[in-house]
Structure 1
Amino acid sequence: MPIPKIENLRGNLRLRWSLHGKRHVLTLGLADSPRNRVIAQMKADEIERDIAYGQFDPTLVKYKPELEARQSLKVTDLFEKFMVAKSREIYDQSLTKYRATLGYLKQFFREQQAKTVTAEKADQFRQWLSERILPNTKRPMTANTLKERLTLVSACWDWAIEENLLDKNPWKKICKGVKPGKTKPANPFTVEEIKAIIAGFRSDRHYSFYADYVEFMLGTGCRPGEAIALRWKHVNEDCSSIWIGEAYYRGCLKTTKTEASGHVPLSQSLQKLLQRRRAIGVNPDDLIFPRPSGGYLNDRDFRQRPWKKVLAKLNLPYRKPYNTRSTLISYWLSQGEDPAVVAKLTRTSVKMIYEHYAGCIKSNARLPEIL
């Protein structure tokens, strides 16, 4: 394992080492003295420890004296550090948005230091970003995507302020000035389509294995990762209720998207489905909906093969498996259920329900006879 060496360069201390074929030099800004060599050795130990635990910061910002780090931190370095911090909290697939944003920051800011970004410069970036043509399309990004990218950058600056890396955030007013476009209305499956999809999976000689998984998703409105993570220990004795509080995505088991959890009372048809599926003496830690070969079901493989092929066979317009969630929420609201109840049992916010499903909410409200 590489060990940083303390060197004297014209009376000042620095550390030098190599890692994966790349040479690193860290100037400490300290005069060579017995006391400062102790400080330098502590810094060398920190670097050696980070390398051993896989936490090494290749930008070296983490190891620079605080003042120097603040003065030399580039926009792109700052956002990369922000991504590392967020990667511990969010799903890997969500990092796609962060990586796309980083790519735009690299193109526009290049080597510019984060502390030199003014509100004027931030607005120039907003204008430049609004004119970018999205990959594989001939259109600029939508207002919603633009706002999403700028919000990530603003969140990065907020994080940097909390970490004492920056003093102010020039992005806040810029984000507020970008008005989001109209939210695309939900495109749920109809009741007839739901029945056709379930029947289509049950009768398919290649993909009938997934029929229970599909019916469960349509019947609960849970996110695919939530259904994939379910184990028999999450179901009560008579299968009338199930606890949802975890989700599995691309090799990672985490809490649900909104970190909300709770027991969901099941319909009689889903209760019978689980009772029929549960074997005698089943291991509580066994997955309820594993893949055919065992282990966690791969949501991407399911979407690309079974889901697409069955929908095509039924001549149904393609919608992602995640659309099973909007289908249940839309149908439930149309039956007159309280939006707050729907939000709670689908682990989302009432605000999101009204933003995306307002047209589905059934209401016979009229002005009261107050006079």
Structure 2
Amino acid sequence: MKRGKNATIIGCSDLFERFTRHIAKDKGLSPGSIHRYKGCLSHVRRSLDVDADLVDQRRAGNFASILRETVSDRTAKEYLWLLESCWNWAKDKYRLADSNPWQGLAAKIRPHSTQKVKPFTEGEVIEILEAFKSDRHYRHYYPMVCFLFGSGCRFGEAAALQWKHLSQGFSTAWIGETISRGHHRRTTKTGKAREVVLSPGLAGLLAQVYDRRSPKPDDLVFPAPHGGSMSDQLFRKRAWKTILDRLGIDYRKPYSTRHTAVSHALANGANPLMVATQAGHNPAILYKSYASVIENRSIFVEFS
């Protein structure tokens, strides 16, 4: 590939670092996003050690192939999107060629079909809750795990919950924020707030916790054992995996508590639209993902 006229000579890794600093300054980056940018940069340094204006479709395609051999399809797509954005940003600034060699590469990746994660059975849920409640090391997490199974909330949403977000009597919870990697607070995944109606049993548990702690309105409902926000990674690696291993239950990520809550609600005859609203699900996606769980019954009135 010929160099563009008056092109700036800059290496790919140097270009991507400048792009990252630009995005961080212009839009701000969450810890999770920073992790993705750093991950992409490490692969660029290893496998794309050329000047940016020399990257053509062949080089970009080869790099995409290397990515697919070393990271998941989802991560490969994310990295290729970042590189496409980087080259679009740098086109005029560094006089790169008008055609973007990364354009369309992410769309060509078709993730392999994966087996759907099974929800926990009612018996497994009871076992898990009892194990957390009785364990001297991990009983601190018991109210949090009860809330996850009983509300269908995402882990970060539960971790961000403050006492001021609960109604008087603890019958409802306002879900409008999430915490990423234990400290970065932002809006929910969908960008929308919602109200979740809590069961009497869950409301009673929260009332007990409140009476025991006498917290302030801004205090976290489910703090980490030593204070501060709870980290999903630490919880998963230490408490969650340990409990499941001990019980001999097939491992599923903590996110499966949400899948379990939604699946059992639908199987129990709950209105799918109400479930979607309270779980913060897109109704169309819920119908597609849980079609086999939704009870198939006539909706028409029988006149005879």
Same fold (TM over 0.5): yes
| Matching residue of 2:17 | 80
Q: How does 1:283-322 map to 2 (within 5 A)?
A: 283-322=216-255
**Structure 1: gaps of 5 or more residues:** 1-66, 135-140, 367-371
Query: CA separation of 1:250/1:282 partners in 2, compared to 1, >3 Å: closer, same or farther?
Result: closer
Percent identity over the alignment is 36
Instruction: Give the C-alpha shift of residue 197 in structure 1.
Output: 0.8
For 1:225 and 1:306, the matched residues in 2 are separated by 16
Query: CA separation of 1:342/1:172 partners in 2, compared to 1, >3 Å: closer, same or farther?
Result: farther
Q: How does 1:22-171 map to 2 (within 5 A)?
A: 71-84=8-21, 89-113=28-52, 115-130=53-68, 132=69, 134=70, 141-160=71-90, 167-171=98-102
Q: Secondary structure at the match of 2:112?
A: coil
Is the aligned partner of 1:246 residue 2:177?
Answer: yes
| Matching residue of 1:277 | 209
CA RMSD in angstroms, aligned pairs only: 3.3
For 1:251 and 1:355, the matched residues in 2 are separated by 33
| Matching residue of 2:124 | 193
**Structure 2: gaps of 5 or more residues:** 300-304
Instruction: Give the C-alpha shift of residue 198 in structure 1.
Output: 0.9
Q: How does 1:170-249 map to 2 (within 5 A)?
A: 170-248=101-179, 249=181
Q: Is the 8 A contact 2:170 2:207 kept in 1?
A: yes
Is the aligned partner of 1:265 residue 2:197?
Answer: yes
Q: Is the 8 A contact 2:9 2:51 kept in 1?
A: no
For 1:270 and 1:177, the matched residues in 2 are separated by 46
Q: Secondary structure at the match of 2:230?
A: coil
Query: CA separation of 1:144/1:286 partners in 2, compared to 1, >3 Å: closer, same or farther?
Result: closer
**How many pairs were matched up?**
290
TM-score by structure 1 length? 0.66
Instruction: Give the C-alpha shift of residue 89 in structure 1.
Output: 4.9
Q: Is the 8 A contact 1:122 1:171 kept in 2?
A: yes
Which deviates further from its counterpart, 177-186 or 157-166? 157-166
Q: Residues 298-343 of structure 1, C-alpha deviation per residue, up to 9 Å, x if partnerless?
A: 3333223332332233222222222212222332343454555444
Query: CA separation of 1:152/1:207 partners in 2, compared to 1, >3 Å: closer, same or farther?
Result: same
Query: CA separation of 1:294/1:363 partners in 2, compared to 1, >3 Å: closer, same or farther?
Result: same
Q: Which of these two proteins has the greater Rg computed from alpha carbons? A: 1
| Matching residue of 1:9 | none
